Amino acid sequence: MFYVKNVPNWERGLRILMGAAGLGYAGMNWGVSNLAVGIGAMGAILAMSGLMGWCPMCAMVGRKLDKGH
């Protein structure tokens, strides 16, 4: 495996939920608001980090999952 998961399961679910909400907002307001583009990009990043279980920003600061403690 190329990466070690650094996002706990509860946070993964939250990231997927918030990412889907951001993508939904962006889809409904795509031609109306310039803010929708930014929210859509952030939603896509959140959803992907939730699906993969790995966050590059968390890895940069050295976050690791606590195994069994």
The predicted pLDDT at position 1 comes to: 56
Task: Specify the pTM.
Answer: 0.84
The predicted pLDDT at position 27 comes to: 95
Burial class (CB in 10 A: 0-12, 13-18, 19+), 9: exposed
- Per-residue pLDDT tens over the stretch 10-68: 999 999 999 999 999 999 998 898 899 999 999 999 999 999 999 989 889 988 887 75
The predicted pLDDT at position 17 comes to: 97
Residue 69 has pLDDT above 70, yes or no: no
- CA–CA separation, 53 vs 36, rounded Å? 25
